[in-house]
Amino acid sequence: MITGSTKLYAIVADPIAQVKTPEVLNSYFAKQNMDAVLVPVHVDVNGLAAVFTAFRSMKNLGGVIVTVPHKTVAAQLCDDLGPAGRAIGSVNVIRRMPDGSLLGDTFDGAGFVSGLCRQGHDPKGKRALLVGSGGAAGAIAFSLAQAGVASLTIANRTRAKAQDIVDRVAAVFPQVTLLVGAADPTGHDLVINATSLGMQASDPLPLDVSRLTPGMVVAEIIMKPEQTPLLLAAQDKGCFVHYGKHMLEQQVNLIAQFMLDTD
Ligand X SMILES: NC(=O)c1ccc[n+]([C@@H]2O[C@H](COP(=O)([O-])OP(=O)(O)OC[C@H]3O[C@@H](n4cnc5c(N)ncnc54)[C@H](OP(=O)(O)O)[C@@H]3O)[C@@H](O)[C@H]2O)c1
Name the site residues for ligand X (rule: CB under 6 A): 108, 132-137, 156-158, 161, 194-197, 199, 221-223, 244, 247-248, 251
Q: Closest distance between ligand X and the C-beta of residue 197, in Å?
A: 5
Of 37 and 133, nearer to ligand X (C-beta) is 133
Strand order from edge to edge, sheet including 80-81:
36-42, 7-13, 61-66, 93-96, 102-105, 80-81
Whether the CB-CB separation of 11 and 40 falls below 8 Å is answered with: yes
State the burial class of residue 134 (Cβ atoms within 10 Å of its Cβ: 0-12, 13-18, 19+): middle
Of 61 and 66, nearer to ligand X (C-beta) is 66
| 71 labelled catalytic | yes
Q: Closest distance between ligand X and the C-beta of residue 107, in Å?
A: 9
What is the number of the residue whose Cβ is closest to ligand X?
134
Of 61 and 207, nearer to ligand X (C-beta) is 207
Of 96 and 242, nearer to ligand X (C-beta) is 242
> Per the residue annotation, which of 20, 59, 71, 245 is the catalytic one?
71
Instruction: Give helix 135-146 / helix 159-172 axis angle, nearest 10°.
Output: 30
Active site residues: 71
